[in-house]
Amino acid sequence: MQTAAKTVIITGGNTGLGFETAKVIASSTTEWHIVIASRSQQKGNEAAQTLIQATRNPHISAMVLDLSSFSSIKQFADQFTKSDLPPLHAIVCNAGAAFVQGTQVTADGLEATFGVNHMGHFLLVRLLYNQLVEPGSIVVVSSDTHQSRGNSATSVRYVSPGTMADPVASDQNLHDLNDFSKGMVRYATSKLTNLYFTYELSRRVQESKPSVSVVAFNPGMMPGKGSALARDYNPAMQFAWNHIMPLFRFVSSGIRSTNQSGNDLAQLVLKESVKSGTYWDGTKDIASSEESYDVSRAVELWDWSSEKVGLKKEL
């Protein structure tokens, strides 16, 4: 069997969209070694073994990565750097979280939605950037929820990074909402920060590694047991998410299966070249919201995030 020549890291690769993405890549070629990055070594190992058995591709392994902990992210980056895996050619920033039963805080004191969905991946990419080999790709999973929806209570509310990151200040900013709505606003807003990160990273990468593409991906809504996004929902909402919402795939193109979106996401890694700084809705390169192209916000977020994790602003 062909020896793997390239490595791709998939965060949250043990379940849902990440798992399906890994499965498509592993089924398509043995050229890639796939690293399943997840919070649990046991669950990561189980996912890797399931994928190896399903695809007959042995080039899959698991490593521990907790995106809610700067220490864990640094340990992961250090472990990967010291490993004898093939050169790193792709990072898929897939893992994400939504907290709807009250404000959660990361190990580093950040509001958890912002901490996991933005800061975790920001630090991971920054720490691994020097390991990334051309031609390469960084794919950031965003969402169409990043678009403001008029007066909707669960629409995006982007404010300064310091406010979004601080649990108390974030609560004050969202004081008029119940816990569920707060969670939805924070999630939608974090998906907007994913786009600011993508676009600013793309601009900066072009200066040093022009053959590395940085793109964002909208997988659509993926209800069903295959998605872990609803793990914080109450029992009634989990039942609707797992058993009722999937039926709407037959009437709405915005509601998709993890299998369908996993295939679309995998293609962004497998393609020879994808234009950097683009936003993909499934298989289509489309425009994201007007708000998402605000360069001043993107720079502000980049600078604040760099300072927060103790890194230089320059790559």
Orientation of helix 70-82 relative to helix 121-128, angle to 10° = 30
Q: Pick the closest to residue 298 from 288, 310, 284 (CA basis).
A: 288
Residues 6+ apart with CB under 8 A from 110: 119, 165, 166, 167
- Give the list of residues 6+ apart from residue 150 with CB closer than 8 angstroms, or none: none
Q: Is 129 a catalytic residue?
A: no
Kindly state the helix (H) or strand (E) to which residue 217 belongs, with its residue range.
strand 212-218
Number of C-beta neighbours around residue 134 at 10 A:
12
Residue 1 in tokens: 């069997």
Among residues 187, 196, 199, 279, the one annotated as catalytic is 187
Helix (H) or strand (E) holding 213: strand 212-218
The tokens describing 121, both together, are: 């991946």
Give the whole-angstrom CA distance, residue 288 versus residue 293.
8
Chain centroid to CA 271: 19
Catalytic residue positions, numbered? 187
